[in-house]
Amino acid sequence: MSDASKTKFVPELVTELVLVGKVTKAHSIKGEIKVHPFSGSPQTMLAYPEILLDAEGCASPVPYRVERARVQKNAVLLQLTGCTDRNAAEKLVHSKVYVHEDALPAPKPDELYLRDLEGKLLQTQDGQTVGRIQSFLANGLQDLLCVKSNGEEYLIPLVPEFLQTVDKDTVTVSLPPGLLEINH
């Protein structure tokens, strides 16, 4: 078992691709794009030599080589091969940004990828089984665990203060009184 009270979380898995951000706007006349990273840390985007963009109308994500990347406040500006003017960059706005799973750095001992929690049984520290973790939602403040059990769905805030332990099959949480009841 591992102590999860100081665990940090990173993006979710989408088949063999990992969703890491979204293109928010075109930047400059030279075709740069501005990307909002879902990890909360723009520096993580600097390590990827290639990204895949899922633009509207594309059958599948399209790979792009990153020529240049730089952090701007809470975002990252990317210059992509083949994207040489503002018009080309405008066509990529609202695209989801993916990387190949093997491009991700290995998590540190105090970190987990969200996908590592999917399918695990969620239980309270007093032994009450809540259900299985099915997916995640981002609400802007923190990620939410989507837990399902017997046709019921619970949305549990994924905050370090609630996490007690994470092991092979189970996530144990300490929830405030009444949290499960207000989820119905």
Q: What is the CATH number of the domain that holds 73?
A: 2.40.30.60
Are residue 92 and residue 127 in the same domain, yes or no? no
Residue 43 Cα distances to 52, 101, 159, angstroms: 18, 18, 22
pLDDT digits (tens, 9 = 90+) for 119-174: 999 999 998 999 999 988 766 677 888 999 888 899 988 888 898 988 889 999 99
Look up the domain containing 170 and give its range.
Answer: 117-182
Total number of domains constituting the chain: 2
Whose structure tokens read 């049984």? 121
Are residue 83 and residue 163 in the same domain, yes or no? no
Are residue 127 and residue 91 in the same domain, yes or no? no
Confidence (pTM): 0.66
The answer to whether the CB of 112 falls within 8 A of the CB of 9 is yes
